[in-house]
Chain A
Amino acid sequence: MDFTIFLIQILNSLQYGLLLFLVASGLTLVFGIMGIINLAHGSFYMIGAYLAFALTSLTGNLMLAIVLGLPLAFIFGALLEWLLFAHLYKRDHLEQVLLTYGLILIFEELRSLAIGDDVHGVNIPALFSASIPLSDTLSYPVYRLLISAVCIALAVGLWWLMQRTRLGMMIRAGSHDRDMVQALGIDINLLYRTVFALGVALAALAGMLAAPISSVYPGMGGSVLIISFVIVVIGGIGSVWGALIAALLIGFADTFGKVLVPEFAGLAVYLVMAIVLLWRPEGILKKG
């Protein structure tokens, strides 16, 4: 393989992996801290992408759409937690799966009613529509670099939030002992609502960022959901940093799988999963 093509694949792997991390980090946090299996998490990615489409049509600019869409996604997440998920914490996993699977169907149907079943494109904002030439014939789009940069910034931000702020300390404490956190005067319900809404906002942002690359289409949440669960399991359930490592691993496996062995591209991700789980059945990092 030519070095330039190799470089492009590396950049693509990073970008894809980092984008998956945005989705998976929320999934793993919600599972690790609140113990909820949320099958509807992929829908938040889908909702984000459609939000980007709708708001870009309205405002004419994706960046503006994201600025408007993020708080909307956060508020939507908080409302959903208050209305539905808050009642799931003490239920068993079967009931969680039933409710969240039902939500997938509802969200898909609502999407169909509101926007229809056509595939839509979203334009890359003019500011980032350029490409960086790498050789005479090959170049790399600035927008993909932007996605990677935003994701890296968010990963650092998430690390800072979890490790350096009191909110992060409370969240980590809450994942260990719910009663004790409350007995210290902390409103655990508000804490959970915040974490959940944050997870929704991150998944929706991933969808918004991906919209110009992948376009916007029915069922787009489904494949992301499955791959995100693979990441959560490989990374170690509940571990944000495990999810980051796993997401990058999957990003590379998927991208290089498609280039090197196109006939078995779909297999690469699950092969990685099988190998990791044989090596470490609890995932790369344990919850922490």
Chain B
Amino acid sequence: MSNVLLEARELHTYYGSSHILHGVDFCIHKGETLGLMGRNGMGKTTLIRSMLGLVKPRHGTVSVRGDVMTGGPTHRIARQGIAYVPEGRGIFPNLSVRENLQMAARAGVDGQRDWTFERVMQTFPRLAERINNGGGQLSGGEQQMLTIGRALMTNPDLLILDEATEGLAPLIVREIWRVIREIRDSGIATVIVDKNHAAVTSITDRSMIVVKGQVVFDGASTEVRNNPELIQKHLGV
């Protein structure tokens, strides 16, 4: 069995009549850390949502661990060990912090239970302090920690983080990066979407740059870091 966790080939996705993805190829291997970069509106989130089956691609295939699962169902794709931290968080405000975590708990694909409630509490001491608060009462940073903690409760092999640090205070951002590093070091593959390309390229092995629904670069993150022209051309504001 190959060690490709998630793979997309020739993905074309539309929102109504607007063509968002123009034949995107994507893949991530076990334990790999991948940065997904591109300016706003280039199709990063659409790519993620298409692979998770939350949006149905019109053409192309998505395979999870080698099985073709294009278009979902989403819960089956997630059950293959893929956890998603969406842009704009996605906590359940009508559930307490504890309930947000408990409802997601399950063993991983290989039966691993590395991420328990206790471990999430240790990783995010701030959540432990607010465990009985409603999800809606948390600050933005705490909500982000809760979303990441909740994703970890599913004991994933792949964690997809879409703009996990957006709009957060610098101190919290540093805390989030610390946790992402810890997750990476624990062997979980991660896809990181973030505006801070310096941080992304320093934490990831490989980087992809998406422009107008097409992949314009796919290679070592060091290559992006050492190539200011590439950054200026595709990522600069």
Residues of chain A having any CB pair with chain B under 8 Å:
166, 169-170, 172-173, 175-177, 179-180, 182-189, 288
Supposing A169-B95, A169-B103, A288-B94 touch, asked if A184 and B150 sit within 8 A by C-beta, the answer is yes
Does the CB pair B95–A185 fall under 8 Å?
A: no
B84 interface contact, C-beta 8 A: yes
Q: Which residues of A lie under 8 Å from residue B54 when comparing CB positions?
A: 179, 182-183
- Give 1 or 0 for each of B13-48: 1 = CB within 8 Å of chain A CB: 000000000000000000000000000000000000
Q: Which residues of B lie under 8 Å from residue A169 when comparing CB positions?
A: 95, 99, 102-103
User: Which among B2-10, B62-70, B72-80 touches the partner chain?
Assistant: B72-80
Does the CB pair A166–B102 fall under 8 Å?
A: yes
**Range class of the B interface residue count:** 20 to 34
A153 to chain B, nearest CB (A): 24
Q: How far is the CA of A186 from the CA of B154 in the complex (A)?
A: 11
Does the CB pair A185–B92 fall under 8 Å?
A: no
Does the CB pair B84–A177 fall under 8 Å?
A: no
Closest to B99 in A: A169
Closest to B53 in A: A182
Supposing A169-B95, A172-B95 touch, asked if A177 and B75 sit within 8 A by C-beta, the answer is no
Q: How far is the CA of A170 from the CA of B52 in the complex (A)?
A: 19
Closest to A170 in B: B103
Does the CB pair A173–B78 fall under 8 Å?
A: no
Supposing A169-B103, A170-B103, A173-B103 touch, asked if A182 and B95 sit within 8 A by C-beta, the answer is no
Does the CB pair A180–B73 fall under 8 Å?
A: no
Among the listed A173, A175, A180, A185, which residue makes an inter-chain contact with B86, where contact means beta carbons less than 8 Å apart?
A: A180
Q: How far is the CA of A184 from the CA of B74 in the complex (A)?
A: 9
Does the CB pair B90–A180 fall under 8 Å?
A: yes
Among the listed A166, A175, A176, A187, which residue makes an inter-chain contact with B75, where contact means beta carbons less than 8 Å apart?
A: A187
Q: B-side binding surface: helix, strand, loop or mixed? A: loop
Q: Which has the most chain B C-beta neighbours within 10 Å: A169, A170, A180, A185?
A: A185
Known pairs A173-B100, A179-B86, A186-B75 / 18 extra A-B pairs, C-beta < 8 Å: A166-B102, A172-B92, A172-B99, A173-B92, A173-B103, A179-B54, A180-B90, A182-B54, A183-B52, A183-B74, A183-B84, A183-B86, A184-B83, A184-B104, A184-B150, A185-B75, A185-B154, A189-B73
B187 interface contact, C-beta 8 A: no
Does the CB pair B74–A176 fall under 8 Å?
A: no
Supposing A175-B94, A177-B90, A177-B92 touch, asked if A183 and B78 sit within 8 A by C-beta, the answer is yes
Closest to B92 in A: A173
Listed by A's residue number, 9 A-B pairs whose Cβ atoms lie within 8 Å are A166-B103, A172-B99, A182-B74, A183-B54, A183-B74, A183-B86, A184-B104, A185-B79, A186-B75
Closest to B49 in A: A179
Among the listed B78, B92, B94, which residue makes an inter-chain contact with A182, where contact means beta carbons less than 8 Å apart?
A: B78
Does the CB pair B94–A172 fall under 8 Å?
A: yes
B225 interface contact, C-beta 8 A: no
Q: Which residues of A lie under 8 Å from residue B79 when comparing CB positions?
A: 185
Closest to B160 in A: A183
**Shortest 8 CB-CB contacts between residues of A and residues of B:** A185-B78, A169-B103, A182-B74, A173-B92, A180-B90, A183-B84, A185-B79, A187-B75
Q: How far is the CA of A66 from the CA of B5 in the complex (A)?
A: 50
Q: How far is the CA of A176 from the CA of B105 in the complex (A)?
A: 19
Q: Which residues of B lie under 8 Å from residue A189 when comparing CB positions?
A: 73
Q: Which residues of A lie under 8 Å from residue B104 when comparing CB positions?
A: 184-185
Q: Which residues of B lie under 8 Å from residue A186 when comparing CB positions?
A: 75, 103
Among the listed A176, A184, A187, which residue makes an inter-chain contact with B94, where contact means beta carbons less than 8 Å apart?
A: A176
Does the CB pair B86–A187 fall under 8 Å?
A: no
Q: How far is the CA of A169 from the CA of B94 in the complex (A)?
A: 9
Closest to B106 in A: A185
Q: Which residues of B lie under 8 Å from residue A172 when comparing CB positions?
A: 92, 94-95, 99
Q: How far is the CA of A179 from the CA of B78 in the complex (A)?
A: 11
Q: Which residues of A lie under 8 Å from residue B75 when comparing CB positions?
A: 182-188
B93 interface contact, C-beta 8 A: yes
Does the CB pair A179–B94 fall under 8 Å?
A: no
Q: How far is the CA of A186 from the CA of B52 in the complex (A)?
A: 13
